[in-house]
Structure 1
Amino acid sequence: MAGWLKFIAIGLGGYLVLTGGVAALVEMADWGKRPAYIVVIAIVMCGNFYANRRFVYPQSKQRKKGSQAARFLFFALLFRLLEYAAYSWLIGPVEMHYVIAITLTSAVGYLIKYYVFSIWVFR
């Protein structure tokens, strides 16, 4: 399977965990939408690093894991901050439902992240 298809599959898994986790915390545990997003996205980021390194970019194991982890953390946090800002704007002033906002920001983010990770993280 092509690398980008694996990346999308991992991204879809991350999206499902993110959406389900945020929904569970918001609906069942009475958390705020923003804190729930922050906690669950941290868990998703850890899983994404492992899965991407192992399945999408297996050739990247020639580079040290620590170096890749640092690059991944930098770019993942950068993108997540941008996604979080967009998510907050969509659920705030735009008044979009939080699940739709997660879907939209995740879809756009994953498309861009594949190319950034291919060039600067796992190369």
Structure 2
Amino acid sequence: MIPGSPLVVAAAAAVVLLVLLAVVTRVRGSSSEARESERAHEAAQERDPPVEIGETYEFGVTELTDHHSGSEVAVGKVEGFVVFTEDVPNDIGKGDVIRAKVLSFNEGRTSADATFVTKA
């Protein structure tokens, strides 16, 4: 192939088109995920929490993350409701089942903060 020939230009254009298509698909997918997350958040605001302050619940740890409190917390769900659990021992990891006592709700009552009780 000769640089600048119609065949080289067409091949380059095809590569650029494929890259643009991949970028658009990725961005559109992210927007879809963001919209779904927003819908779930709105639905959570409209329902009563399935947990009560002072009660203990058992659930699986879906992830460990840094919380606004500045410490690492275990994240899990009770009937789809997010519970952030503090004071989790170092040997707890993703997939472990724990018991935690609910201490408070966040603003909007779409999640709760809890403290670790025991590994189930």
The structure number with the bigger radius of gyration is 2
Which protein has the bigger strand share? 2
| TM-score normalised per structure 1 | 0.23
| TM-score normalised per structure 2 | 0.23
Which protein has the bigger helix share? 1
